[in-house]
Every structure is written in C-alpha cells, then in structure tokens.
Amino acid sequence: MWRDFYDVEEELGRGRFGVVVQCVEKASRRRVAIKMISRQKPCREGDTSMREIEALQQASGHPRLLQLIHVFHTETETAFVLELIRGGELFDYLGQKDTFTEDEAVTFTRQLLDGLAYLHSKKVVHLDLKPENILLVEEGSVASIKVIDFGLARILKDNEDQYEAHGTVEFVAPEIVMRFPVSTATDMWAVGVLTYVL
C-alpha cells in the first residue's frame, strides 16, 4: 500500500470523488501529492479512475501538464502519486489582483495552448478546463502554469464517439449540454471562455 512508502503531511483538497494530500516519500524525502479515490469494486478497464490513469500517462513528459509518478490499487482505493505543485490556483491568483495585464493573459493562454496541443496530439481531451484546474508552478506568477485534474479526461478513439455528461457549467461546451460527441474542440470552447474571462 502507498502508506508504506509515503508519510501524510497535510490535506490539500477534497472533492466529490476523492481527497488529495501532500506527502513525503520516506526513502527520498521528496514531497508529492497523492490523490485517493475510494471505490466499491475493483478497478476495471473503462472505470473513471482507469481513464484518468491513461490520460495522465499520455500527458507524461510535458512541462504544462501534471505528471503522474506512480499508481497504487487496493480492493477499495486507487491512489495516484503526483508531482506536487504549490503555486496555487489560477482562480485565486486572479481574485487577489487589482489588474491583470494583457501580457500576463497572453503568457497564460500560450502556455495553456502549448499543453493542450501536446495533449490533443496524444488524442486526449481534458474536458474540465477551468481556473481551478490550472495551477501556478510558482506562487504569485503566471510565468509557469500546469493543467491538473484529469478526472473527466477521455482518450479519443478513431471511429468511436465519446460522450461526457459532466463539466463545470461556466466552461462546458455546447456538445456536452446537447449530448453530442466530444472532440478536441470541446476543450477549445473552455479555452475561449478562459481567454474571455482574462
């Protein structure tokens, strides 16, 4: 189990599907984030947590996307060991600023598009882009951002329509509301909303 290798330091967040905690690896003393998702039954292909693992594996190696380090499965839990990003949510950063310059907006948007281009080239759609799922690598600066939370992400397959019924109301694309197949354009709708908000 993951607790054999990591000590919990503090809770970072809690959502509908799980809890995220900051941990330190016992052997190396490296700090990580661990996302724990409880389940009623063993993890199988097609489950939400399996789709998230596959999407994170595809995102591996890109500096604008959250990195998966390891996954632990038990009968009742899946634990994702993830890189720790401590700069805070973009949403909080924007809420604390009196002004947000066009140059900052361009920097943020370019980085977001860079990460999405990589993700889309791997045939992965995020489907939950919003300020809360974009973290600053360094506190108080959009000099470097990372996209997190791949819980709704899907891998697009040729000749197979993918549908999603969830999302954040302010950022959800029309095809989700109308129950049409999702595509990379679904993420681009959210990018447009984010750019407008900026």
Q: Return the active site residues.
A: 128
Question: C-alpha angle with apex 194: 126 to 178, nearest 5 degrees?
Answer: 60
Q: How far apart are CA 107 and CA 129, in angstroms?
A: 17
Residues 6+ apart with CB under 8 A from 33: 12, 20, 21, 22, 23, 81, 82, 83, 84, 85
**198 is written with which tokens?**
């900026």
Q: What is the DSSP string of 37-66?
A: EE-SS---TTSHHHHHHHHHHHHTT-TTBP
Strand order in the sheet with 18-25: 6-14, 18-25, 31-38, 77-83, 68-73
Token reading at 173: 């694309």
φ, ψ dihedrals at 55, nearest 5°: -65, -40
Nearest CA-CA partner of 182 in 51, 91, 89? 51
